[in-house]
Chains A and B, each alone.
With several copies, the nearest count.
Chain A
Amino acid sequence: MTIDVPTSRRALPQLQPVSFIGADGQPADVPADGLTIPSDRTLLGLYQKMVQVRRFEAQVTHLTRQGRLATYPSAAGQEAIEVGATTALAPNDWLFPTYRDSASLLTRGVPVTEILAAFRGDWHCGFDPNEYHTSPAATPLATQTLHATGFAMAAKLKGEDACTLTFLGDGASSEGDTHEAFNFASVWQTPTVFVLQNNQYAISTPLREQSNATMLADRAAGYGMPGLRVDGNDIAAVFAAVTAALERARNGEGPTLIECLTYRMESHTNSDDPTKYRDAEEVEHWKQFDPIDRLEKHLRTAGVLDDETAAEITASAEELATSVRDAMNTEAEVDPSELFAYVYANPRANLIAQQGKLEAELAAAAQS
């Protein structure tokens, strides 16, 4: 006589990352149950966004080097995830991004100045989250995974058709909050998609010193949650996987963990020096897996992209770059009184007094 226990369970995800378009632009043919390659029309749209996003990252990184922004963490190399995952969202869904995910904000429609406000030092979050259904980009690692879970729980309780999608990094996956979010989401069966951007590094710390797992997607099994690993540089795979996960979420089938295998092509931020911890060869090696190159090859082979369209796309990207430069040329006005304006909904005497002092100080300074 033994204790009754379940006799079946969800298996670990397949080892080979899901991939539709190989690094050489040829069919990769590593499918997964229920996933199909997006139409070429969809892929063309995604291609255009990736090109724009890359141009955006390059332009911002350049401005940062010039000292126009204090700091900037670029997602260069990770465009397929930023664009693929974000595009799969419905407008009513909510995105919970991190500091690395400016490209997702751009994809979500947040204006450039509002995205860059934080990095230019204007204000911590430059946009209204409610307007774009997008949470402020989280800096304290992994904390946003819980916000995404809670938001989805509320949507579920209210019977609203809204899913949440949150990005997190391989480094952030080690934080306790990630575990708690996976667990809460699975116990509560919230409509949440966890997109883990495994870009191999947490600042200088390589994946092998971050985790001893065969793959991070294996974590999902321990929560009774479906997990999946995709080639994060194949936007067809990312888009398909996220779309399917969102569909499951919408159908009340709960959360999904999607690990996207990718590589951080740039330094952690502009103030980082990656030569201290990784070889140029490694970066070189990853260039062959570039997400844009492969899609371009695929689209050209498929006859969906010709030189003319490519030129238009490049031009649209250049236009974006110009708008970034323009936006960063006009300094944002800051108003010192705003220091006190938003801390509490209910006004406080000590803040009013301090604001008064500061204003008097500024008035005196203006006099002299």
Chain B
Amino acid sequence: MTVTALTTAEDVPAPASVTMTKALNQALRDSLAEDDTVLVFGEDVGRLGGVFRVTEGLRKEFGPERVWDSPLAESGIVGTAIGMAMAGMRPVIEMQFDAYAYPAFEQIVSHVAKMRNRTKGHVSLPITIRIPYAGDIGGVEHHSDSSEAYWCSTPGLTVVTPSNPADAYSLLRESVASEDPVIFMEPKSRYWMKDKLSLPVQTAPMDRAQVVREGSDVTLLTYGPTVRTALAAAEDGAEHGLSIEVIDLRSLSPFDDETVSASVRKTSRAAIIHEAAQFGGYGAEVAARVTEANFTHLSAPILRITGFDVPYPSPKLEEYFLPTAERILDALESWDWEL
């Protein structure tokens, strides 16, 4: 399904500095304006505009019947969204932090993911579940989890994540318009990232990865918060004569095998980078499937450069936990390049 821009080419405003928060906010505003069945509710998304201000101003603009504060219960939020979707609505709900999506786990995994299959396609659940995720914001415990692996290993869910304001807008518009339920993961540490942009904007389709920097020696696969880290590594690597290609996966489930394999076959080496712990993390799927599809083209195993296999640490220890550009370059060095 394509997203129709609400504004025509003529009245597109001149590019301005837009934060990811603002882009998400505008995507919700345009979705609400375009389609009356779109509803926005959750904890503190109304008057306050969300703890990250993503829903700021929407209650005022669309009224409390379209945008409202729910009681504080995540299973309740997802469970009632399911009922609304069955009644023909298109709820966009927020889990305040991703550790707070866990109380809704059963509703998401046993119903959101399975309703369409259960009913032979008679009942679709076009629900968008927005989840601010990942760390690097100095948050107290439970405020920096990366839960994408849970959702990605659940058949029936679609999982996307933007790394920049333009994608934030475009992916969210497409997610809201999708007939399939979407877990929309927002990288908290990138909320305040700005880009020059005119909204509305339409970027690549929501199921496609994007090459965000071309290179020939190695491919860095990543998404969300660590795209910036990978680009920084590529920059540094270039200074040391290493030509690094960076792919922003954007869509975690489904995985864009085509774009990724094309790159890996060119570079013959790849690494996957994410904040989440390594063991059983999303990077495992990436490494496994990219190896399967390109084994004879690889000159080294796919590296996983990730958080350690420990719970997300307290703020003073984040810097040691998170993958950095240096750690990426160190890891690349660990390969036997003569292989």
Contact = CB atoms under 8 A, between A and B. Distances in A.
B275 interface: no
Given A99-B140, A124-B141, A361-B330, A203 B48 contact: yes
B73 A176 contact: yes
A346 B71 contact: no
Given A183-B76, A209-B69, A140 B142 contact: yes
A123 B120 contact: yes
Contacts of B48: 203-204, 272-273, 276-277
B196 interface: no
A322 interface: no
A341 B73 contact: no
Interface string B43-75: 110111101000000000000010011111101
A152 B87 CA distance: 8
B43 A203 contact: yes
Contacts of B2: none
Contacts of A210: 71-72
Contacts of A344: 116, 156, 158, 180
Chain B CB within 10 A, most for which of A128, A155, A175: A175
Interface in A288-342: 332, 334, 336, 338-342
Contacts of A354: 308-309
Given A154-B89, A350-B309, A130 B110 contact: no
B118 interface: yes
Nearest to B313: A339
B210 interface: no
Contacts of A148: 83
Interface residues on A, range: 35 or more
A346 B121 contact: no
B214 interface: no
Contacts, number: 252
A349 B207 CA distance: 11
A346 B178 contact: yes
A140 B110 contact: yes
Nearest to B312: A124
B76 A181 contact: yes
A125 B158 CA distance: 22
Contact of A202 (B43, B89, B121): B43
Chain B CB within 10 A, most for which of A119, A125, A172, A332: A125
A177 B106 CA distance: 10
B149 interface: no
Interface of A: 70-71, 94, 99, 118-125, 128-130, 135-136, 139-141, 143, 145-155, 157-158, 162, 164, 171-172, 174-177, 180-181, 183-184, 187, 202-205, 209-211, 271-273, 276-277, 332, 334, 336, 338-346, 348-351, 354, 358, 361-362
Given A271-B51, A344-B158, A351-B309, 10 more contacts: A121-B138, A128-B120, A130-B123, A143-B107, A146-B82, A177-B106, A183-B71, A202-B72, A205-B43, A343-B309
28 contacts: A94-B87, A118-B140, A124-B118, A125-B118, A140-B100, A141-B100, A147-B80, A151-B83, A153-B84, A164-B83, A175-B72, A175-B103, A177-B79, A180-B76, A180-B79, A183-B73, A184-B73, A211-B71, A272-B48, A276-B49, A277-B48, A338-B120, A339-B310, A343-B311, A350-B255, A350-B278, A361-B326, A362-B320
Interface of B: 39, 43-44, 46-49, 51, 65, 68-73, 75-76, 78-89, 99-100, 102-103, 106-107, 110-111, 114-124, 138-143, 155-156, 158, 178-180, 207, 254-255, 257, 278-279, 308-311, 313-317, 320-321, 326-327, 330
